[in-house]
Amino acid sequence: MSTPDRSPRPPRDARHAWARLLRAGTPSRSRSNILVMVLAIALGFAIIAQVRQTSVQGLETLREDELVRLFADVDQDGDRLASEIRDLQTSLQLLESRSTGEEEAQRAAKERVDALGILAGTAPAVGSGITLRIDDPQHTVPATILLDAVQELRDAGAEAIQVNDVRVVANTWFADTRDGISVSGVEVRPPYVLRVIGDSNTLAGAMQIPGGVTATVRRVGGEASVDIRTRVVVDALLSVSPPRYARPVPTTTP
Amino acid sequence: MIPAIGLAIGIVVGLLLQPAVPVWLQPYLPIAVIAALDAVFGAVRAILDGIFSDKVFVVSFLSNVVVAAFIVFLGDKLGVGSQLSTGVVVVLGVRIFSNVASIRRHLFDA
């Protein structure tokens, strides 16, 4: 906006223009003024209507080429989303197979722990097998016979053995004492009852072969009886202390 | 003064009533609004030039609106609707700009 003083034209010119504008806009009850008013109201109304329409415009006012472009856009979006779905499904399958693989590994590890627990005597075991009862009224059965019996049972495929309340494992030892037999330092008194899990017929046969355990016990003055059972419980446990010197050899494969 | 009051009343009424534009009118209303604005600016300029006539304003207002709507209608029928709408908007925009420039010269001497 420039100041009238500095303009090349005389200032009254602009003042005349403003006056003319005001005079034209002065309210009067002439017909033309009313008509102008009506037209102005219609224009204001139409502007607002159009502004609102533009802000809520749907598809129906679009032209053909715009619709074609929109359609192409939607098509492209659909393709892109479909490929995204495929990708995600692939990764879902990958993750699922990986998790089942982990479950498998966990199950295998658990089986291994169970097997090792039975082998090391840290887990109770149950299954078919035999009980071998050795009566020794005159204390004439030495530890060697018991050791022989255990060796014989192992040869016959015994998987878990217990002498009275002592579990027999790889490093179990037998020694004679005054009143009975020491099994890994635990005093065991007659009658000795061996509970053995394994193939019962094979175990029973191994005990009763001529010159075997039964015959030897009878020869030294004791009495041995074998009982085949479908359910033998070996529930004596050993506590295993971690080895002080031996370490597992590191391997890359689990 | 009268047209400004009328415009304000129209805007307020429009805001209060929240009108929905009928479907048959939708392609033509924007162009018609631009044409009406052109007529309004032309009228202001005519007032300042001292050649304003009520009859001319009313007729030019209505004919502008009708002709603009008709051109869009024709363009749609001929398959060049969007191009023709653009052309009409450009022409009316140029006219509005030149009218506003003239008005500014009258009112502000610049």
Residue A58: predicted pLDDT: 67
Nearest CB to B2; choose among A27, A31, A46: A27
CB contact under 8 A, B6 and A41: yes
Q: Do A65 and B82 touch (CB under 8 A)?
A: yes
All residues of chain B having their beta carbon less than 8 Å from the beta carbon of residue A65 are 82
- Tokens at residue B65, please? 């609106």
pLDDT number for residue A26: 67
Question: How many beta-carbon pairs under 8 angstroms link A with B?
Answer: 143
Per-residue confidence in pLDDT tens, chain A, 254 aa = 444 444 444 445 667 777 777 776 666 667 777 788 888 888 888 888 888 877 776 676 677 888 899 899 999 999 999 999 999 999 999 998 888 888 889 999 999 888 888 888 888 889 999 998 988 888 888 888 888 888 888 888 888 999 888 888 888 888 888 888 888 888 888 888 989 999 988 888 888 888 888 888 888 888 888 888 899 888 888 877 788 888 888 876 55
Q: Do A53 and B29 touch (CB under 8 A)?
A: yes
Query: What's residue A186's pLDDT?
Result: 85
User: Is residue B56 within 8 Å of residue B46, measured between CB atoms?
Assistant: yes
pLDDT at A84: 95
- Measure in Å the smallest separation between the Cα of B109 and chain A Cα atoms: 6
Does the pTM of the predicted model rise above 0.90? no
Tell me the shortest Cα–Cα distance from A75 to chain B, in angstroms. Answer: 24
Question: In chain B, which residue's Cα lies nearest the Cα of A30?
Answer: B54
In a mutational test of the B interface, the residue from A16, A36, A56 whose CB has the highest number of chain B CBs within 10 Å is A36
Whether the CB of A50 is below 8 Å from some CB of chain B: the reply is yes
Residue A29 has what pLDDT? 63
**Which residues in chain A are contacts of B107 at CB distance < 8 A?**
14, 17-18, 21
Query: What ipTM does this complex have?
Result: 0.79
Angle (nearest 5°) at CA A139 between A179 and A131: 95
* DSSP code, position A129: E
Chain A residue numbers touching B29 (CB-CB < 8 A) = 46, 49-50, 53
Measured between CB atoms, does A42 come within 8 Å of chain B?
yes
Any idea what the Cα angle at residue B24 is, between residues B20 and B26, rounded to 5°?
Answer: 55
Q: pLDDT means per 10 residues in chain B (110 residues)?
A: 78 82 81 89 85 83 89 86 86 92 84
Interchain CB contact of A109 with B (< 8 Å): no
Q: Which residues of A touch B66 (CB under 8 A)?
A: none
- Per-residue confidence (pLDDT) for residue A148, from 0 to 100: 87
Q: A 7-26 residues with CB below 8 A of B?
A: 7, 9, 11, 13-14, 17-18, 20-22, 24-26
Taking CA–CA distances from A42, the nearest residue in chain B reads B10
Q: Which domains does chain A have, with CATH numbers?
A: 126-234 (3.30.70.1880)
Alpha-carbon gap: A29 to the closest alpha carbon of chain B (Å): 11
Q: How far, in Å, CA of B67 to CA of B4, rounded?
A: 24
> Across the strands, what pairs with A228?
A130
Q: Burial, B97: exposed, middle or buried (Cβ in 10 Å; 0-12, 13-18, 19+)?
A: exposed
Long-range CB contacts for residues A13-18, cutoff 8 Å, separation at least 24: A13/B109, A14/B106, A14/B107, A14/B108, A14/B109, A17/B48, A17/B106, A17/B107, A18/B107
Over pLDDT 90: what percentage of chain B? 12
Q: Is A68 on the interface with B (CB under 8 A)?
A: no
pLDDT at A3: 42
What pLDDT is attached to residue A13? 66
Handedness of CA A39, A43, A44, A49 (dihedral sign): positive
What value does the CA radius of gyration of chain B take, rounded to a whole number of Å? 16
- Dist. CA B95–CA B53, nearest whole Å: 19
- Partner-chain residue, chosen from A13, A44, A63, that has the shortest CB–CB distance to B7: A44
The pLDDT score that the predictor gives to residue A9 is 44
Partner residues linked to A182 by β-bridges: A175, A187
Amino acid A2: pLDDT: 40
Q: How far is residue A15 CA from its own chain's centroid?
A: 89
